Structure formats: C-alpha cells, structure tokens
Structure 1
Amino acid sequence: MSDAFRELLKKIGSGPHTGQALNREEAASAMRMMLLGEATPAQIGAFSIAHRIKRPTGEELAGMLDAYDEIGPQLGAIAGIEAIVLGVPYDGRSRTAPVTLLTALILANAGEWVVVHGGDRMPTKYGVPLIDLWQGLGIDWRSLDLAQTQAVFEKTGIGFVYVPAHFPEAASLIPYREQIGKRPPIATLELIWCPYAGKAQIVSGFVHPPTENMFREAFRLRGQAHFTTVKGLEGSCDLPRDRAAIVGVKQPERSPHDDLERLLLHARDYGFSSVNVPLCSEAFLIEQMQAIVKGEESDLLPSVLWNAGFYLWHRGIASNLEIGTQIAKEALSEGQIAAKVGAIAEAVAAS
C-alpha cells in the first residue's frame, strides 16, 4: 500500500463538505503512482469512483497529463510540422457510424500530419474501436512497436498510437472501468492527450458542456495554444448532422485568456440531410468504409464529406467548407484515398 497515495485519496474522497480537489502536482503524483502500480488495486478503484463522484477539475487533468508526458509514449516531432491530433473515446461508438478514420485519411492525403490513438474494445460501452476499423481497411497497427509506428508516420503523414502496445501502463487501468461500472475521469485524458512531441492542434470531442470547460482550463495551464472542441457524436470529434455542430476554436495567436471562437454549423445549410447514419454492425460499417475508399456511393458518404469538408476548411486546406467538401469528394472519386490506404498498408507491412 502507498501511504502517499492514501493521503491523496483521502483528500478527494472525504465527501462534499470536507473533500478537496488536488492541485496540479498532487494530480500528477496520483496519476504517476497509478500508472506505475505503486498504488494498490483497492486504492486505484477507490480513487476512480471517488474522483468520478467529485468530478475532476481542469487543474487535475493538467497534472494527470503531466504524468502521461513523463511516462507515456510520443511520436517524434517532424521539423516545422504542426500535427492534428484527433481525440475520441476509446470505448468506441455504439449508436452512430464513425467517420473519424476516413476524415484522417482525407486530411493526410491533403498533406496534413495526423495522429490518432486508441485501444481495443473496452468497457463500459464496448463500442467499435478505431483499431478494428483500421484492420477492416487492411492496416494492422497492432503489429508495430512505437519506432515502427514512427517510421510509418514519417513516410505517410499518419500515425496510430496503439495504447496496449505503446502505453501498457495506461492500458493496465482499463479493467477498473468494468469493475466500477463507470468511465472514471481518467478516461477523459484520452480526449485531450497529445502523443506527439511537436507542435500540435488537439481536437477533442465532448458530450457535456462542463467537460469542455475542463478541457479549456487544462489546456490553458499546459500552454496548449491551439485546440478545437467538438460537441460531437457520442463524444467523438465527428460532427453531427441531426443537430447543430457546436465547435470551439482556440487559435495560437490569441491570448490564453481569450474566449473560444464559437462555430454553429448545420449540415442542412451545406446540402446534407439532417440524419446521422446509424451503426448497424461493425461488419456492415467496414463494408461501407471500404466502398467509400474505392470511390463508390454509400449511405455513409454524406457524413464523410460533411466532416472532411469541415476539417479541410478548419486546417486551411480549403477556403470554405463547401470547397473542402469538393476536395474530399474528388480525392475519393479519383482514387487518391484508395492509394493512400494502400501506401499506409504497405508501409505498415514493411516495418
């Protein structure tokens, strides 16, 4: 048992009247002790549920990310390159069809450097994980160590940090999600973690507005000057079509204390129907993704174009969303994305 961890646990777990939030250094210490197994399973479980009940602060998240930076993996910086890091819940999607990977591929094809990260199917949702969708496109990131992933990233402009292999310390905490029956606040880190050593724009999906405020405070404390928040589908960074897409943008040239630039985007204003594509099954989703990569029509295609068009505009590749949509459509119909998938698969196989 760790006496030091017990004191931190007592601080957050003393109830609504005497409980207190951890400061940044304490949060980093608590996260470090959990990642390194210095806290016992009983202590980690107690911390997870107590912290969920209390709710984390932005300062606590900043401290936990400090520990991630100390212990976890990072893809090496590419000189002069700002990567875009897409943060989505690791426990996947269960209701709506995700298009994150297709967005990432279209961005990479347009010359962007894209980092995505995640693990296997996991509690509490047990939704479709990104790693399975990569596999469905013929790309097996599971087989690579971090150095090999770095080589693929440098060659293709896209990299996937696979947590079970690259960050086993964090993967060791995943079973607690099943044991306590809830996603602990530790899971929030997967939305704002940046496993890239260089300059980055972090895109973080969220569901509840208070979560966005925690992101903003954590980013401010850590000096993260460029980030985007998306009230996306099931907490992802996929823009919805059935309601307004609420996006917050923090540009690096603005003061850390400036408010976010707020975007409210409606799919119908850009020629798309107001219907999200349901997730029928993983197998059918992969069939749809494969068809889109081949340049074929699919019910999922409007969601892909809606999202890719936004992100191409957001990253300055296109002057507006409509042009971004057209760039994405042409990249798919002309076989550019199929070629990109083939190049990544070849690079992975050669590593």
Structure 2
Amino acid sequence: MTFTHHEETPYPEHPFAEIVRILGKGKKGSRPLTQEEAHRAMKMILADEVLPVQLGAFLMLMRVKEETPDELAGFVLAAWESFQIDNDGLVDLDWSSYAGKRRHLPWFLLSALLLAENGITVFMHGASGHSAGRLYTENMLGYLGLSCANSVAEARQQLEQRRFSYLSLEHFCPKLHEIIELRPILGLRSPVHTLVRLLNPFNAPYSIQGIFHPSYRPVHQLAASLLQQPHMAVLKGEGGETERNPDMECLVQSVHHGELSDENWPALFPRRHVKPEGLDPEQLAQLWQGSFIDEFATASVIGTAAIALKLLGKADTQQQAHELAMEYWKARDRLKFNRP
C-alpha cells in the first residue's frame, strides 16, 4: 500500500492539517505561525473542531520550537473571544498563578491581599494539580479563611466585596484547563502554560506575571505589547510564581503603552537563606497576624508588593515603592484571615 502526497489524497483534508503542516514540515520547510494563523488555530481548538491526535501533534510541535510573541498574541485573542466576561473596569491588577510552589510557601498571596487592603482590586487566576508535590493557590486560600470563586459571577461579587478574588481557569476557559491537564500524559508542559498567564480575562489595565524560564520573559513582554496591554510586568518568580525571591536579584521586564523597559531589582539580603525543611501553610495567616516571624517571608511579601506598586504607578522609584509596601505591611489589619 502506498501513501500519496497530501495534494493528491482522495479524502478532503481536515482544516487543521494545514496548521500542523506549517509547524512540522521538516527542518527547512517548517516555520512559526503568523498571528492570524495562531488565532485561527486556537479558535478551532477552543471550539472543539480539532481531533485529539491533531491537538497532541500541535502542542508538541509548538513545544519543540517554542512560542513566538505573534503566536501567543494570536492564541490570546482567540481565548478572549471565547470568554463571556464584561470588561467594565472592575479589576485594577490581573495576577496569574499557574506554577505552584515547592520550595517556599506562596508568600505572594499576602502581597496581593496587602494591595487589596489598600484599595487595589486584584484578580488572580490559575490552575492546580498539573505537577505533583506543589502547593497551588486554590488549595492555599482556605488557610487564610478565604474561598475561591466558582464562577465569573462569583468572582465579580468577591472583587466588589473584598477587592480580591481567585478563579480557576476551568471556570472561565474549560478547554484550556483540559489541555493543561494533559501534562502527565504528554510528559511536558505545552504552549498553553505560557498562554494562560497572559489571559487577563477582566481586561485589567495592569497585569503581572511570573515565569520560571528566563527566556520566556521577553516573549511575554512582546506579546503583551502586540496585544496592546497598557501596563504589564513579567519577572522570573520564585518557583515560577509571581513572587520576588528576596535573596536574588530580580529582573522585571515591562510594557507601558507599547514602550518596553527592563529593570533590575537588587537582592534584599547579602547571603541566601536556607530553605525550610517542610512547608506549613498555617504560617501564611500567622505571618500576617504577627504570630510567626520570618525575615525571608516578610521580605518576600514586601518585595513582591513593591514591584506591583511600581507597575501600578503608585511610586516612581524602587525605593519609594519599597517604602510604600513597608508602610502598608506595618499598618495591615492583623485581625484578618482567621480560619473559620
């Protein structure tokens, strides 16, 4: 039995086959997708118009070559078109949380709640469980007496009531959540892990993202620029979350109205701390309430909040941003976040 060249096959070609061919046509013949092609591809994926074998091929071909800013922008635009969310200016800061923490507790949660206490509305989105042995945000909020939202409507309610809400990806884009869940089957992360960080479903004017691999930082930055996101910052966060590690220098790459900038934030300690033996999520509330004292954790909370405050234009310099974050922390309402 002989297989003929694709132009001569007797069966009509599946519309998604062209996308797979562009990405997979050998070393010399393949090329990245244009923004328009990426948009079309993701539209078909989200509409369930792609066979599982095609989706697997697409995800792994993308993974091998890595996403371009144009591809990411096309994917995000298709995702935006699939959301049923009113962008009415409710959210100030979009905060993505997809990595999970392994070496340290998610101190960034306290940074986000500190901003919320000071009048900044923070929407956090993420997914849990795709990597074993990590602490995911949605499982951590209960330790602060907070519940996750289970729908866009509930998220909106929480944002109005307490200026903070966390909503899992499965509740606003179930198809992308399903693809993230393929990680144990494919053995690798896919371009969806990058794409979800850029989603900003409430179209907040400010967004902040953490990544693990430094090479992704400029890709996020350029994609945000193509998407005309007014203000976005991306950093190599602790464990891949949006969290500044106070023991290390932190490069933050930003976009402000199409203008790209890079800024180094210095380490806050001369030498590194020893990572804790085990992780006790009870310490999140204890640190906030002042019954647990830890200089690394406190510097993490303040340092991460400072980066967000500078992004938000609440301070002109790193020094001012840091001082403002410290003021917020000292003045926090310590009676909050008691577990029910």
TM-score range, shorter chain: 0.7 to 0.9
2:273 and 2:152 map into 1 onto residues whose CA distance is 35
Question: What's the CA shift string for 1:99-126, capped at 9, x where partnerless?
Answer: 2211110001111111110122113x55
Q: 2:101 pairs with 93, 96, 99, which one?
A: 93
Q: Give matches, 1:288-299, under 5 Å.
A: 288-299=283-294
Q: How many residues of Structure 1 are paired with residues of Structure 2 in the alignment? A: 324
1:158 — aligned with what?
Answer: 164
Larger Rg: 2
* AA aligned opposite 1:305: I
The SS at the match of 1:4 is coil
Are positions 1:230 and 2:227 aligned together? no
Inter-CA distance 208–165: structure 2 relative to 1 (3 Å threshold): closer
Which residue of structure 1 lines up, in the alignment, with residue 305 of structure 2?
308
The alignment status of 1:287 with 2:282, answered yes or no, reads yes
Among 202, 205, 223, the residue aligned to 1:200: 205
Q: How does 1:162-201 map to 2 (within 5 A)?
A: 162-197=168-203, 199-201=204-206
Amino acid corresponding to residue 205 of structure 1 in structure 2: G
Q: Which has the higher helix share?
A: 1
Residue equivalent to 1:36? 47
Structure 1 unaligned segments of length 5 or more: list them: 347-351
Instruction: Label 1:131 to 1:248 Cα distance change in 2 as closer, same or farther (>3 A).
Output: same
- What is the one-letter code of the residue matched to 1:301? T
State the SS of the aligned residue for 1:170.
Answer: helix
Give matches, 1:1-351, under 5 Å: 3-74=14-85, 76-78=87-89, 83-88=92-97, 90-123=98-131, 127-141=134-148, 144-197=150-203, 199-252=204-257, 256=258, 258-260=259-261, 262-268=262-268, 272=269, 274-275=271-272, 278=275, 280-282=277-279, 284=280, 286-299=281-294, 300-317=297-314, 320-332=320-332, 334-335=333-334, 338-339=335-336, 341=337
Q: 5+ residue gaps in structure 2? A: 1-11
Question: What SS does structure 1 have at the residue aligned with 2:260?
Answer: coil
TM-superposed deviation, 1:278: 3.4
Deviation of 1:244 after TM superposition, in Å, equals 0.6
* 8 Å Cα contact 2:91-2:122 kept in structure 1: no
Alignment TM-score, normalising by the size of structure 2: 0.86
**SS of alignment partner, residue 324 of structure 1:** helix
1:349 maps to what in 2? none
Shift of 1:138: 1.8
Secondary structure of residue in 1 paired with 2:15: helix
Identity of aligned residues (%): 25
Instruction: Check whether the contact 2:108–2:243 (CA below 8 A) recurs between aligned residues.
Output: yes
1:18–1:195 CA distance, 2 compared to 1 (3 A): same
Deviation at 1:328? 3.0
CA RMSD in angstroms comes to 2.5
Q: How far apart are residue 280 of structure 1 and its match?
A: 4.7
SS at structure 2 position matched to 1:243: coil
1:46-82 CA distance string (max 9 Å, x none): 111111011111100001001110113546423xx66
What TM-score do the two structures reach when normalised by structure 1? 0.84
Letter matched to residue 246 of structure 2? R
Q: How far apart, in 1, do the equivalents of 2:32 and 2:43 lie?
A: 17
- In structure 2, how many angstroms separate the alpha carbons of the residues matched to 1:331 and 1:170? 40
Aligned mates of 2:105, 2:209 — CA distance in 1: 18
Task: Please give the secondary structure, in 1, of the residue aligned with 2:61.
Answer: helix
Residue 152 of structure 2 aligns with an amino acid whose one-letter code is: L
The offset of 1:27, in angstroms, is 0.8
Do 1:308 and 1:325's aligned partners in 2 also have CA atoms closer than 8 Å? yes
- CA 1:25–1:276: 2 relative to 1, 3 Å: farther
